[in-house]
């Protein structure tokens, strides 16, 4: 009788939860805008862009106001997110990889010469950790972490990839600088018709449908690194004639806003697909930009633009929606970084870091879940291009910035609590206050370990 009860009553209880455990693991969708300014969406103060879907996402979750990219350009920011560590640890990736796999400072140039410029497989952390935890990983859109096949997303824990390897791909012809074919499905170049933002959206929606029908019990990580609104500044209704080189980098605000509208429509389509497929309640959706904008983007109220280590170059919007876990309509002033998401995603997935080494970020989502009080952070930056190097440190509310071009050096000191827009430089007036920040910055730089 006891054996009968075990077989008919207890045994099913032991078996069923195993499948439920897999399907209950939260899905993760990370939508990353490219070169989008802090004030380029409605809920962050855009005066002209209409972004109802992104605004709705913020209303349903938490929006952060003190989040930083770990580089003022695409490649270092993406490196930090996918590794959970400062991009300097990867070597050669402190500025955007140039079109056609060009290194832009001494270390990167040497790596490019030996075809080693990119994110090495052994340094990839996020996607491999999620894959080991049972996730199906897909990336559709911009990679920008190496042109060589050994740097493919398929080598770094992603099961699917359709997108482009470079950083400034024509939205209609899908080539870089007129003739460089970089749009791939898997490892092979493909010909596609359509506007890039629409194509990325289609790939994402198709992926979500397939997960619902083919792998409903398997959680997924969907990474959508968009091109928009990075140059070329081609609005979706623009003349698809190939632009001149000058038109690639100089755009009007009208065209830029149209690109933002297209990006918002894409976010809406992904959110609708999640709802239609019954996936929304068990999916963490995150939206951010990879760094600050160049003109005609808006980084208001922060100082300056992409390429600098003033806050306009590195302060970014970040929105997280997690139904049933994060209360809707929250706003957080916790200082954080995009590489904090690495720790958050790994914890959410119940995964571990394979190499056993500590991550450089904190679990930002857990901080919000617990309703913890905001705490000060110390963050570091170094950015290199040619003979120009930027350094910065934010320590609590104080920030020190240094720029060196050849032998010429400029230094700034800001109190971000009193002067969040970095309008008043305190360095010449109070060099003594800058000393502890400079010492910390030197110790950080000296202690960096390149893991390549």
State the catalytic residues.
74, 144
Compute the distance between CA of residue 314 and CA of residue 290 in angstroms, rounded to an integer: 8
Query: Which residue in 89, 30, 39 sits closest to 283, CA to CA?
Result: 30
Q: Give the tokens for residue 192.
A: 């596609």
Query: Which residue in 119, 286, 295, 279 sits closest to 215, CA to CA?
Result: 279
Compute the distance between CA of residue 200 and CA of residue 260 in angstroms, rounded to an integer: 14
Dihedral (Cα; 269, 139, 180, 261), 10-degree rounding: 20
Taking the mean position of all CA atoms in its chain, how far away is CA 33? 8
β-strands 398-405, 160-164: how paired? unpaired
What counts of helices (H) and strands (E) characterise the chain? Answer: 13, 17
Give the number of C-alpha atoms closer than 13 A to the C-alpha of residue 221, restricted to the C-beta side: 28
Q: Give the tokens for residue 179.
A: 């003739």
Compute the distance between CA of residue 210 and CA of residue 219 in angstroms, rounded to an integer: 12
């Amino acid at each position: 009788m006891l054996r009968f009860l075990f077989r008919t009553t207890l045994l099913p209880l032991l078996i069923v939860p195993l499948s439920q455990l897999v399907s209950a693991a939260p899905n993760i969708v990370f939508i990353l805008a490219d070169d989008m300014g802090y004030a380029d969406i409605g809920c962050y103060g855009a005066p002209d862009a209409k972004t109802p879907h992104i605004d709705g996402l913020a209303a349903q979750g938490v929006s952060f106001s003190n989040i930083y990219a770990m580089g003022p350009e695409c490649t270092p920011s993406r490196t930090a997110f996918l590794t959970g560590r400062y991009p300097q640890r990867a070597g050669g990736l402190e500025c955007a990889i140039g079109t056609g796999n060009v290194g832009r400072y001494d270390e990167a140039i040497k790596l490019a010469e030996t075809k080693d410029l990119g994110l090495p497989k052994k340094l990839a952390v996020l996607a491999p950790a999620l894959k080991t935890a049972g996730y199906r990983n897909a990336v559709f859109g911009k990679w920008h972490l190496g042109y060589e096949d050994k740097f493919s997303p398929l080598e770094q824990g992603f099961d699917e990839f359709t997108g482009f390897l470079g950083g400034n791909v024509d939205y209609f012809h899908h080539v870089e600088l007129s003739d460089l074919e970089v749009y791939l499905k898997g490892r092979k170049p493909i010909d596609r018709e359509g506007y890039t933002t629409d194509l990325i959206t289609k790939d994402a929606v198709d992926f979500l449908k397939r997960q619902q029908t083919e792998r409903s019990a398997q959680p997924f990580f969907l990474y959508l690194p968009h091109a928009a609104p990075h140059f070329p500044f081609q609005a979706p209704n623009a003349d698809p004639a190939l632009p001149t080189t000058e038109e690639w980098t100089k755009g009007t605000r009208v065209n830029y806003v149209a690109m933002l509208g297209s990006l918002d429509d894409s976010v809406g389509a992904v959110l609708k697909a999640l709802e239609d497929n019954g996936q929304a309640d068990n999916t963490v959706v995150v939206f951010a930009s990879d760094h600050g904008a160049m003109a005609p983007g808006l980084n208001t109220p922060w100082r300056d633009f992409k390429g600098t280590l003033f806050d306009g170059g590195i302060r970014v919007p970040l929105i997280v929606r997690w139904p049933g876990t994060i209360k809707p309509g929250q706003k957080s002033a916790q200082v954080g970084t995009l590489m904090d998401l690495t720790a958050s995603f790994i914890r959410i997935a119940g995964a571990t870091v394979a190499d056993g080494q500590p991550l450089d970020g904190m679990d930002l989502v857990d901080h919000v879940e617990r309703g913890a009080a905001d705490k000060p952070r110390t963050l570091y930056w170094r950015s290199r291009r040619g003979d120009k190097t930027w350094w910065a440190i934010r320590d609590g509310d104080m920030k020190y910035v240094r720029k060196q071009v050849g032998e010429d050096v400029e230094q700034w000191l800001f109190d971000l609590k009193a002067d969040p827009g970095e309008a008043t430089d305190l360095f010449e007036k109070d060099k003594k206050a800058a000393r502890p920040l400079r010492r910390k910055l030197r110790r950080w730089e000296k202690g960096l370990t390149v893991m390549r």
